[in-house]
Amino acid sequence: MNYNSDYYNVKQYKTSNEVKWCPGCGDYVILSVIQKLFSELKINKSKTVFVSGIGCSSRFPYYMNTYGVHTIHGRAIPIATGIKLTNPELDVWVITGDGDCLSIGGNHLIHLLRRNLNINVIMFNNRIYGLTKGQYSPTSLKGKVTKSTPSGSIDNSLNVSSFILGNNSSFFARTTDTNGNHMSSVLKEAYFHKGTSFVEIFQNCVVFNNKEFSIYKDKELYLENNKKLLFNNDKKGIILDHNSLELSIVENNLENKEKILTHNQENLNLSSIYSNYEQNQNFPLFLGVFRRLLNKPTYEEDLYKIKAKSSFNNLTIDQIIEGKETWSI
Amino acid sequence: MIFNKNKKTIKTAVVRIAGDSGDGIQLIGSQFSNNLAFSGLNISTFPDFPAEIRAPIGTISGISGFQVQFSSENIYTPGDKVDVLIAMNPAALKSNLKDLELGSLLIINLDTFNSVNYKKANYEFNPLESDYLNNFKLIKININSILKDGLKDLTLGNKDIERSKNFFCLGILYWLYNINIEKQKLWIKEKFKNDESLLKINMSSFLSGFNYAENNELFNEYYYVNKFDFEKGIYRSVTGNTAISLGILYLKKISGLNIFYSGYPITPASDILHELSKYNSEFLTVFQAEDEISAICSCIGSSLTGNISFTGTSGPGMSLKTESINLAFIMETPLVIIDIQRAGPSTGMPTKVEQSDVLFAVYGRPGDSALPVISASSPVDCFYSIIEAARISIKFMTPVIFLSDSYIANTSELLNLSNIKNFNFDFDFLKEHMNNKNQEFSKRNANLSKKWFFFGSENNEYRTGGLEKDEKTGVISTNPDNHETLTKIRSEKIKQVSKHIIKPTIYGCQKGELLIISFGSSFGSTRQAVEILVKGGFLIGHLNIKWLYPLHDSIFNYFSNFRNVIILELNNGQFSKILKSFYSGNIIEYNKIQGQPFKVSEILFVIKNILNNNEIIINK
């Protein structure tokens, strides 16, 4: 197939469907970032599938000119699994939300992470149920007043990074809809990662949970591999106490420079420790690639190794059907 | 001393062996059955697994049984009443005695008949002292003692010796039915070739049992069953679940389709997963999912990439799969859902048979989504029907439900392999149906089905999903006319299936007093009963139905040729409701909900009542 230069133009990844998200919704940013990224990476539309569940996030496949399937609540992951196992050549992206992925879909996520299929899971976390008009979700903070929690929610919110890392995910990253460049670089890294790439995107729901993430403004710490953990315009840093294994914040000065932690994507212990501070208001919000473990075998790799081995002595189907004991009349 | 032994030629025999789950009952049951078939006899078997895993030894819930009917004539069931019962202990006696034909042979292992075991079996008295046992020809054998005595020169543990008592019983059966022992001996040699002491014990016990019967004066009669007039061919034995697995493999061979199977362990469907897992290769892809929903959802995903996908389960799993089935229905993707029915509702009785998922299979979903439902009638029928289910599913781009049940799943029947090669499975339509080059997504053929467009084909990108879409443009739509049109199209498409299935035929009289309708595993006993009656001159017809929905047009025309119509089913009235929704005449219902299959005698009794005839005598 000869593709002219126009084939990878951003326009080619857009569909003619009118985008129906609310004006000002963070989803527009995500859509735009992904369409531009696909153009940059010259992604083959015919070999790309978007699989979504139910929620505002899950309308996404209709707006991408690739293969797409809008499935049922919480079940995008097993459907994506079926697609990937039977055609591993396809690039499979799961688009989901905090409710779809972590509430009803939580069980499937656990098993995807331990199988490490080579697919990308993008979770739009707006900390609310938007499509159904404003109920609390597993990531809503405790005390959140919503339509179903008029007295404030009494559940502790799910620690997303701990949950993902606790399931030994080979890739976890977080980004926000307020930083399109960062989102693009994170998604690029997720795309190139071989294994399950879980990306959490903090997404603003302008109608039902506006400015949920404004508490993190100027309190972001961008993780970069092999770079020091610095934030607040590099004025502050994070150190680790070697006895208690607790983190603390210090001034980035000559005295502390050496002690400030260097991020290492492959070190699960480190990223797990960061994840314990997710809900700690005294600490910055960790963003970027927490973990990326290279060369962890994927489920489909191992599956195809099994399929390639003939474990039943090269029998043909006819021979298998005949079985071990026949008699002729 | 040699005693006079009578040789009696008989047409049919039913043998049952029962003991603790550790007694090796299933092993000798299947060995005996295989050799009967090899000797040229028609067989049908039924393994009766214990209700509990590892129940305490000697208790009723731990009893494992195996029954085989063998014959020189057509048989369709493993038999109602038993001619020879071997009971290894009091609990085995208690749970099986009621099925023993009066006057028949009852063999017990006397060494286990003691007060401790009577208590475990809930006997308040010594059963051997009961007058009731006078109704049978009782032979008491001290099997344990005989074996210990015979093997005492070998330095072997008591446990191993005791465990070989199943082979002792096997030897008795070979003598009793005059079956050649050579092949059995070869099998024992092969099976235990890596353990010399076990080989010695089991071979010795087998021959010991045979010789015991030969020399003991109580065994004064042996039996001979003539060979069955088999259709020419090469045969093998299959259980229902094995047949499903083999059918799926055969589908691969004849269609070249990519095949995907995903399941979650559940009684009585797990064996399908086990069997197919062995062939996780270029033949098919097999996936044990984390739950029932993931199993069916991964099937939906693979259907989108052009695989014909199967998922096997039972009642509880069917409930969980409901939403996903509807997704496949509205997306119009092929998918076969295998339901091996068991007694419900809920956890119910997992190892017992029932046919109570019929209404659920046909209608049991929110929204208008009645589905094609095919019901296999026997183990051999499972082989052909699973392939048929796939054919219809693909041709009509719809999920199809395949019903079997725990009885068919575990009983065995002889499959004629030569017949398979000559059968027309009709997959010629596939090439054009899967031709993705003409991008006419919205076009429906005369059957109202679309082509199978799959993910990954060049320049055909499309988006699908659970929302209702405009029939012409494929865009999400809540337009009232569109929804009504599509609901009707989907419903009509399913009805079109009835034009592509084989017309069901009536066995027996085409006109007469009574038409008996059956489906699924009820076929066997019904056919056997009707055969007897038709031979006896009664004007009875038997209509066995394969496709429970949509119904073939011919069915209701048949009804008018009979004075009465009766439907037999193992549930509290389900298929009858479907029939009655299409037929305003009278249909008699006979329901049995005991976790047990219909007995031939029971069906004869029911028919007698309807016809108001005299006692029907059955000649064996």
The predicted structure's pLDDT at residue A172? 98
B285 to A85: CB separation less than 8 angstroms, yes or no: yes
Contacts of A72 in chain B (CB under 8 A): 323-324, 327, 466
Sorted by sequence, the CB contacts under 8 Å of residue B52 that are 6+ apart come out as B61, B62
What single string gives the DSSP state of each residue in B325-362?
Answer: HHHHHHHT--EEEEEEE-B-STT-BTTS---TTHHHHH
Q: Which residues pair with A67 in a beta bridge?
A: A49
> How far, in Å, CA of A252 to CA of B559, rounded?
91
A87 to B455: CB separation less than 8 angstroms, yes or no: yes
> How far, in Å, CA of B141 to CA of B144, rounded?
9
Residue A132 identity: T
> How far, in Å, CA of A99 to CA of A103, rounded?
5
Nearest Cβ partner for A86 among B34, B38, B302: B302
Nearest Cβ partner for A85 among B237, B282, B302: B302
Q: pLDDT grade, residue A157 (50/70/90)?
A: very high
Question: Which backbone phi and psi does A196 adopt, to 5 degrees?
Answer: -75, 120
CA distances from A60 to B6, B12, B36, B304, B499 (A): 82, 67, 63, 18, 40
Contacts of B294 in chain A (CB under 8 A): 75, 78, 81, 108, 111
Go through chain B and tell me how many residues it has.
620
> How far, in Å, CA of A70 to CA of A61, rounded?
7
> How far, in Å, CA of A157 to CA of A98, rounded?
11
Residue B613 has pLDDT above 80, yes or no: no
A78 to B289: CB separation less than 8 angstroms, yes or no: yes
* Rg for chain A, CA atoms, rounded: 22
Terminus-to-terminus CA distance in chain B, angstroms?
33
Q: State the DSSP H helix or E strand holding residue A76, giving kind and residue range, or none if neither.
A: helix A76-86
Three-state secondary structure call for residue A146: strand
The structure tokens 């731990």 sit at B62
Q: pLDDT grade, residue B439 (50/70/90)?
A: low
* Rg for chain B, CA atoms, rounded: 27
Go through chain A and tell me how many residues it has.
329
Residue A3 has pLDDT above 60, yes or no: no
Closest to A165 measured CA to CA, from A241, A270, A262: A270
Residue B138 DSSP symbol: E
The predicted structure's pLDDT at residue A263? 98
Residue B619 has pLDDT above 50, yes or no: no
Q: How far is A242 from chain B (nearest CA, A)?
A: 39
B309 to A71: CB separation less than 8 angstroms, yes or no: no
Question: Which backbone phi and psi does B236 adopt, to 5 degrees?
Answer: -140, 160
Contacts of B282 in chain A (CB under 8 A): 307
Contacts of A108 in chain B (CB under 8 A): 290, 294
The predicted structure's pLDDT at residue B617? 38
Q: What is the mean pLDDT of chain B?
A: 93
Contacts of B283 in chain A (CB under 8 A): 317
Q: Which residues pair with B308 in a beta bridge?
A: B259
Question: Where does A147-216 have alpha helices with state H?
Answer: 160-166, 180-192
Cα B176-B182-B185 angle, rounded to 5 deg: 95
Higher-confidence residue: B163 or B242? B242
Cis peptide before B345 (omega within 30 of 0): yes
Sorted by sequence, the CB contacts under 8 Å of residue A299 that are 6+ apart come out as A85, A115, A116, A117
- Nearest-Cα residue of chain A relative to residue B256: A317
What single string gives the DSSP state of each residue in A28-55?
Answer: HHHHHHHHHHHHHHT--GGGEEEEE-SS
* Cβ atoms of A312 and B279 closer than 8 Å: yes
Nearest Cβ partner for B285 among A86, A107, A326: A86
> How far, in Å, CA of B361 to CA of A246, rounded?
57
Q: How many CB atoms lie within 10 A of CB B24?
A: 22
> How far, in Å, CA of B324 to CA of B401, rounded?
13
Q: State the DSSP H helix or E strand holding residue B64, giving kind and residue range, or none if neither.
A: strand B63-71
Label the pairing between strands B540-545 and B506-508: antiparallel
- Nearest-Cα residue of chain B relative to residue A52: B465
Provide the Cα torsion B81, B86, B90, B91; round to 10°. Answer: -60
Q: How far is B255 from chain A (nearest CA, A)?
A: 13
Residue A46 identity: S
What single string gives the DSSP state of each residue in B401-420?
Answer: EEEEEHHHHH-EEEEEHHHH
Cα B507-B373-B498 angle, rounded to 5 deg: 65
The predicted structure's pLDDT at residue A317? 94
- Nearest-Cα residue of chain B relative to residue A45: B461
Question: Where does B164-222 have alpha helices with state H?
Answer: 165-176, 182-191, 196-215
- List the single best residue of B290, B386, B467 to mutate versus A (max A Cβ within 10 A): B290
The predicted structure's pLDDT at residue B154? 66
How many CA atoms lie less than 13 Å away from A164 in the CB half-sphere?
Answer: 27
* Cβ atoms of A157 and A139 closer than 8 Å: yes
A307 to B282: CB separation less than 8 angstroms, yes or no: yes
The predicted-structure confidence for B454-510, as pLDDT tens digits, reads as follows: 999 998 999 999 999 999 998 999 999 999 999 999 999 999 999 999 999 999 999
CB pairs under 8 A between A and B: 177
Contacts of A38 in chain B (CB under 8 A): none
* Cβ atoms of A138 and A155 closer than 8 Å: yes
Q: Which residues pair with B401 in a beta bridge?
A: B337, B373
Q: How many CB atoms lie within 10 A of CB B350?
A: 16
B331 to A69: CB separation less than 8 angstroms, yes or no: yes
The predicted-structure confidence for A243-302, as pLDDT tens digits, reads as follows: 999 999 999 999 999 999 999 999 999 999 999 999 999 999 999 999 999 999 999 999
Q: If you average pLDDT over residues B26-37, what whole number do you get?
A: 93
Give the ipTM. 0.96
A277-281 contacts at long range (C-beta below 8 A, 24 or more positions apart) = A277/A247, A278/A159, A278/A160, A278/A161, A278/A162, A279/A141, A279/A157, A279/A159, A281/A215
Q: How many CB atoms lie within 10 A of CB B46?
A: 20
The predicted structure's pLDDT at residue B151? 75
Contacts of B246 in chain A (CB under 8 A): 320-321
Using the CB atoms, write b or e for A172-205: b if 16+ within 10 Å.
bbbbbbbbeebbbbbbebbbebbbbbbbbbbbbb
Q: How far is B310 from chain A (nearest CA, A)?
A: 12
A46 to B459: CB separation less than 8 angstroms, yes or no: yes
The predicted structure's pLDDT at residue B508? 97
Q: If you average pLDDT over residues A310-328, what whole number do you get?
A: 85
Q: If you average pLDDT over residues A135-152, what whole number do you get?
A: 97
- List the single best residue of B39, B461, B467 to mutate versus A (max A Cβ within 10 A): B461
Q: If you average pLDDT over residues B62-80, what whole number do you get?
A: 94
Q: How many CB atoms lie within 10 A of CB B562?
A: 21
Contacts of A311 in chain B (CB under 8 A): 278, 281
> How far, in Å, CA of B324 to CA of B195, rounded?
50
Residue B73 has pLDDT above 70, yes or no: yes
- Nearest-Cα residue of chain A relative to residue B276: A320
Contacts of B323 in chain A (CB under 8 A): 72
Closest to A240 measured CA to CA, from A208, A199, A283: A283
B293 to A75: CB separation less than 8 angstroms, yes or no: yes
Q: What is the mean pLDDT of chain A?
A: 95
Three-state secondary structure call for residue B165: helix
A71 to B327: CB separation less than 8 angstroms, yes or no: yes
Note the pTM of the prediction, 2 decimals: 0.95
A86 to B331: CB separation less than 8 angstroms, yes or no: no
- List the single best residue of A51, A58, A83, A309 to mutate versus B (max B Cβ within 10 A): A83
Nearest Cβ partner for B233 among A49, A321, A329: A329
- Rounded to 10°, the helix B143-150/B165-176 angle is 100
The predicted structure's pLDDT at residue B440? 79
Q: State the DSSP H helix or E strand holding residue B83, giving kind and residue range, or none if neither.
A: strand B82-87
Contacts of B300 in chain A (CB under 8 A): 71, 79, 82
- Nearest-Cα residue of chain A relative to residue B34: A325
Residue B618 has pLDDT above 60, yes or no: no
The structure tokens 């699989």 sit at A51
Terminus-to-terminus CA distance in chain A, angstroms?
57
Nearest Cβ partner for B290 among A87, A108, A311: A108
- List the single best residue of A43, A301, A311, A327 to mutate versus B (max B Cβ within 10 A): A327
A71 to B300: CB separation less than 8 angstroms, yes or no: yes
Contacts of A83 in chain B (CB under 8 A): 301-302, 304-305, 455
> How far, in Å, CA of B396 to CA of B450, rounded?
8
Three-state secondary structure call for residue B568: strand
Label the pairing between strands A91-97 and A120-125: parallel
* Cβ atoms of A208 and A228 closer than 8 Å: no
Q: pLDDT grade, residue B14 (50/70/90)?
A: very high
The predicted-structure confidence for B168-203, as pLDDT tens digits, reads as follows: 999 999 999 999 999 999 999 999 999 988 899 999
> How far, in Å, CA of B576 to CA of B589, rounded?
7
Three-state secondary structure call for residue B261: strand
Contacts of A90 in chain B (CB under 8 A): 305, 455-456
Contacts of A325 in chain B (CB under 8 A): 34, 38, 236-237
> How far, in Å, CA of B505 to CA of B508, rounded?
10
The predicted structure's pLDDT at residue B62? 85
Label the pairing between strands B258-263 and B285-288: parallel
* Cβ atoms of B139 and B113 closer than 8 Å: no
- Rounded to 10°, the helix A106-115/A76-86 angle is 30
> How far, in Å, CA of B246 to CA of B266, rounded?
20
The structure tokens 């330095």 sit at B155
> How far, in Å, CA of B346 to CA of B338, rounded?
18
Sorted by sequence, the CB contacts under 8 Å of residue B2 that are 6+ apart come out as none
Nearest Cβ partner for A317 among B253, B324, B467: B253
Contacts of B301 in chain A (CB under 8 A): 51, 78-86
Q: How far is A54 from chain B (nearest CA, A)?
A: 10
